[in-house]
């Protein structure tokens, strides 16, 4: 007895999604040099740098040692860059790691003040350190 099995296949159905509008990245709510909009963060950043940056790290849910990088070597090399880049990525803020690096290298206190103002803007719980 000879049995023949016939196997038929259906053609694959392909669907195409056309993206008509790319998501737009947000801008920082304040500029890098708008430090005087928040005198407290400006003073804390200038006079108590690493301590204040550690408080910002804790506001972000990171270990406080992440914020004490920078001046004199610090605990976590590149911690300020990591904080700023992570915050930007989390909230869809326009920029790049290269830009973050330049801003931190040229004006760390201003970059950290801007990060603090942005945390306020997004409703991060205030830290009681400063």
Domain boundaries, the chain: 35-121
Phi, psi of 50 (to 5 degrees): -60, -35
pLDDT, one tens digit per residue, over 10-19 is 666 666 666 5
CA dist., res. 12 & res. 22, Å (int): 29
Position 67 scores a pLDDT of 78
| 3-class SS shares of the chain: helix, strand, coil, % to 5 | 50, 5, 45
What is this structure's pTM?
0.74
Phi, psi of 12 (to 5 degrees): -65, 135
pLDDT, one tens digit per residue, over 35-58 is 888 888 889 888 888 888 889 999
């Amino acid at each position: 007895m000879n049995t023949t099995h016939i196997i038929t296949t259906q053609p694959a159905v392909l669907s195409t999604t056309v993206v008509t509008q790319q998501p737009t990245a947000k801008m920082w709510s304040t500029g890098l040099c708008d430090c005087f909009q928040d005198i407290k963060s400006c003073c804390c950043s200038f006079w108590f740098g690493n301590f204040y940056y550690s408080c910002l790290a804790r506001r972000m849910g990171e270990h406080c040692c992440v914020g004490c990088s920078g001046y004199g070597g610090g605990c976590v090399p590149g911690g300020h860059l990591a904080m700023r880049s992570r915050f930007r990525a989390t909230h869809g803020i326009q920029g790049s790691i290269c830009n973050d690096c330049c801003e931190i290298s040229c004006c760390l206190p201003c970059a950290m003040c801007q990060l603090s103002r942005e945390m306020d803007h997004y409703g991060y719980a205030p830290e009681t350190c400063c």
